[in-house]
Structures are given as structure tokens and as C-alpha cells.
Chains A and B, each alone.
Chain A
Amino acid sequence: MNDGASYLELSRRYGFAPKPESASRLTQLVSRQDADLDEIAKVINKDPSLRARLLRVANPDSENEAEFAIETVEDALMRSGMGCVLVLAMSTPLALALTKTFQTMLSLKLDAVDPRELTPLRGEHLLCNIDFSGKVVGNVLLRMSCESGRLIAAGILGAGIEELDDANEIRDVAGELLNIMTGNFKSNLCDAGLECKLSPPMVRNTSDFTPVGTRGGSLERMAFRTGNIQISVEVTANPWSND
């Protein structure tokens, strides 16, 4: 029974890993509709990876940093708006949960790469989707080749790849992977006062590449690679959609 312990005490008792501070801080700032741009810029400027991601989102047509027309965090914030900052803040725990899942459950080091570095998917592939609704509306989409799905399922289930002949088994693993990722980022959103609910994961084999994003939402694309496994992730979010 809870002995009146605080969240911090319970986190220590249960051995929770600390949450990424800049992402938590950023989510808290963005959740306030009167958020101060200077304060947000300060948090982003302190975190080189957040800064690089914001500039990439603000310069969608540039091939590399040398081509960036928008070079400062402040200009990027003015151009891209708060929705974009929220997506960045949300994507951080999502990406961390994905890399941690590979590390802990597959003993594989998953690297974040530029989405343009991935070999483009062709034909049938695995599509996993979770929608979230509440104070933020959006979705998280994960795409991978059927072969990547088989390799991940074999690793997590501890089975030989030739033993995996059940497509449902592969889809269940992919769905759980997305569940783990989104559960972690939902916690971050809820802690910042942006309560939301997640839909169950929808996983299917498809040849359809039509974007599934939320209308009017900000979008961030991320890509990850380890060996022959490639995963692309899209996060779309529309904050304050219920206002």
C-alpha cells in the first residue's frame, strides 16, 4: 500500500530511470499557452540534439546544414510555432524508448540517422499506428520492411528467423514495440499537464504509403538503423486542438 510517498520517492523505490530533463522542461513550457519564446529558446539552445532537430524541421527543403535559410533557434521558433516544439519534445522520449528497447530486449545498438539515409521502402511493409487524443491530438506511425519486422520479432522472442512463420506473431511484436515507445512519451505529456489517451496499436501489412498524419498538425520524421533493420517513425501532433 502507498505510505503517502511522493512520486519522487516512488520513482526511487521502483528504480525508474530518470526522464530526459530538457524534453520534460520543454513539454511543461509548451503546455502553457502563454509560453515565453525566449525561455523555450534557452532550453533548446542548451541541448544540441534538440537544436539540430528544430533547425532541420524549420528547413524542410534543405539537403544539409550549409543550405539552412533559418539558422537560429529563435527564427526557427517564430517560423515553426509551438506545435513543432511540442512534437520535438514528444519525440525525444519516443526515440529514447525505441533505442532503449533495442538495447535492453535485443542487445542491439540502434542509431538515429537522417531519414534521407534510409533505403526507401518499396511494396509491402509493416505499418504500425497509435493515435492519441485529449489535450493533444495526433499519432505516431512506425514503418519498417517485412524483413526488419521478422528480424525484430525473432530477436525479441528469442526464436530463429526461419521459425517465424506466423505473421500475427510478427505484428504483435511490432505493436508492442510501438506500445512501449508511446507509453513512455504519454507519461511525459501527462506529467506536463497534457493528459491524453492512446488508442490500441493498429498493425498491418500494407503497400500503401499515403501519409496518416493528423490534419493541421506539426510533423517530425525520425529514422533509425542497426544492421539490416531500418525503422522510420513519424510523429504528428496538434496541441490545444480542443480549444
Chain B
Amino acid sequence: MATKILSVDDSRTIRMIVGRTFRPYDCQVCEAGNGEEGLAAAAREKPDLIILDVTMPVMDGVTMLSKLKEDPELKAIPVIMLTAESGRENVLQIAKLGVRDYLVKPFKEEQLIEKAGRIVTLQKKPAA
């Protein structure tokens, strides 16, 4: 069964890059444009991994993460933060809420694969 990944970012560009990054693997990538949509998508899709931005309109990534961790159905879903912000307070707060990893933008696609591959199974698709 394909690994299900949820990308939550208000930037279409980043969601597109995340989708492209996992294209060679047996993965199904779904998207959300803010934390509120992200929570709904997490409840609906039950992804194996969430890749989450911090600064977003409507609901930011830190709020989404804290609500996710309060929900008994969703709290076990591993999260990788993907953000340009790596300030001390932000990182400490996010780590306290519980994330599996943290990747600072700009990033290389290989870095995201490496971090995701430590958490979920990434099976290369057979060459067409």
C-alpha cells in the first residue's frame, strides 16, 4: 500500500516541490493550504506522515501541531516541520509539542527524502 503523505503549506510552490520530491516513490501526497485545512485533511486521510509549515494564514503550523497532538485519533501521526523559521523560541516550542524532525528552508529534495525515509517506508516505483 502506498505511503500517504500530507503536505500543509500556504505556498503552492512548496506543495508542488513536496509532491515532486515523492513522485519517484510509492507515495500518495495530499495537500492543504493552512492549519485548519490540514487538520481536516489529517482526520480524513489519516496520513503516515505530515510535512508542516509554520507561518500560514487562518491557522498556523504551531497551532495545528498542538491541536493534532491533543487529538487521540491523530496524535501518533509523525510530523516533520518544513519552515524558514529556526529561531530558538519557535524550535523549543515545536520540539516540546512533539515533532519527529525539522527541516529549514531552503532545502534540497534529497534532504526531505532522507528525513522522511527515517520515519516511513519509501519504496521506489519500478522504472516505467
Real binding pair: yes
Q: Does B17 contact A (CB under 8 A)?
A: yes
Q: Does B87 contact A (CB under 8 A)?
A: yes
Residue of B nearest to A107 (CB): B108
Instruction: Kindly identify, within residues 85 to 123 of chain B, every residue whose CB is under 8 Å from any CB belonging to chain A.
Output: 85-92, 95-98, 101-108, 111
Kindly provide the distance from the CB of A27 to the nearest chain B CB, expressed in whole angstroms: 12
Instruction: Kindly identify, within residues 171 to 218 of chain A, every residue whose CB is under 8 Å from any CB belonging to chain B.
Output: 172-173, 175-176, 179-184, 186-188, 190-191, 198, 200
Q: Does B12 contact A (CB under 8 A)?
A: yes
Q: Does B20 contact A (CB under 8 A)?
A: yes
CB-defined contacts of A191 to chain B, threshold 8 Å:
87-88
Residue of A nearest to B92 (CB): A7
Most buried by B among A101, A169, A172, A176: A176
Q: Does B14 contact A (CB under 8 A)?
A: yes
Q: Which of A10, A175, A180, A200 contacts B105 (CB 8 A)?
A: A180
Residue of A nearest to B88 (CB): A7
Q: Are A198 and B98 in contact (CB under 8 A)?
A: no
Q: Are A1 and B98 in contact (CB under 8 A)?
A: yes
Q: Does B63 contact A (CB under 8 A)?
A: no
Q: Are B87 and A179 in contact (CB under 8 A)?
A: no
CB-defined contacts of B43 to chain A, threshold 8 Å:
none
Q: Are B106 and A172 in contact (CB under 8 A)?
A: no
A1, B92: Cα distance in complex, Å:
11
Interface size on A, as a range, is 35 or more
Q: Does B57 contact A (CB under 8 A)?
A: yes
Say whether, besides A10-B95, A190-B87, A183 and B55 are in contact (CB < 8 Å): yes
Q: Which of B12, B16, B103 contacts A14 (CB 8 A)?
A: B103
Q: Are A156 and B17 in contact (CB under 8 A)?
A: yes
Instruction: Kindly identify, within residues 13 to 37 of chain A, every residue whose CB is under 8 Å from any CB belonging to chain B.
Output: 14-17
**Interface of A: prevailing SS:** helix
Q: Which of A2, A17, A169, A172 contacts B104 (CB 8 A)?
A: A17
CB-defined contacts of B102 to chain A, threshold 8 Å:
10, 14, 16
Q: Are B84 and A179 in contact (CB under 8 A)?
A: yes
Say whether, besides A169-B12, A179-B55, A186 and B108 are in contact (CB < 8 Å): no
A102, B7: Cα distance in complex, Å:
23
Kindly provide the distance from the CB of A217 to the nearest chain B CB, expressed in whole angstroms: 22
A13, B85: Cα distance in complex, Å:
16
Q: Which of A2, A11, A104, A183 contacts B83 (CB 8 A)?
A: A183
Residue of A nearest to B101 (CB): A14
Kindly provide the distance from the CB of A97 to the nearest chain B CB, expressed in whole angstroms: 7
Kindly provide the distance from the CB of A86 to the nearest chain B CB, expressed in whole angstroms: 16
CB-defined contacts of A104 to chain B, threshold 8 Å:
106-108
Say whether, besides A104-B107, A179-B11, A180-B105, A157 and B16 are in contact (CB < 8 Å): yes
Q: Are A180 and B84 in contact (CB under 8 A)?
A: yes
Residue of B nearest to A9 (CB): B95
CB-defined contacts of B84 to chain A, threshold 8 Å:
97, 179-184, 187
Listed A/B pairs (13) with beta-carbon separation below 8 Å:
A5-B95, A10-B95, A11-B86, A16-B102, A104-B106, A157-B16, A169-B12, A183-B85, A184-B104, A186-B87, A190-B87, A190-B89, A200-B57
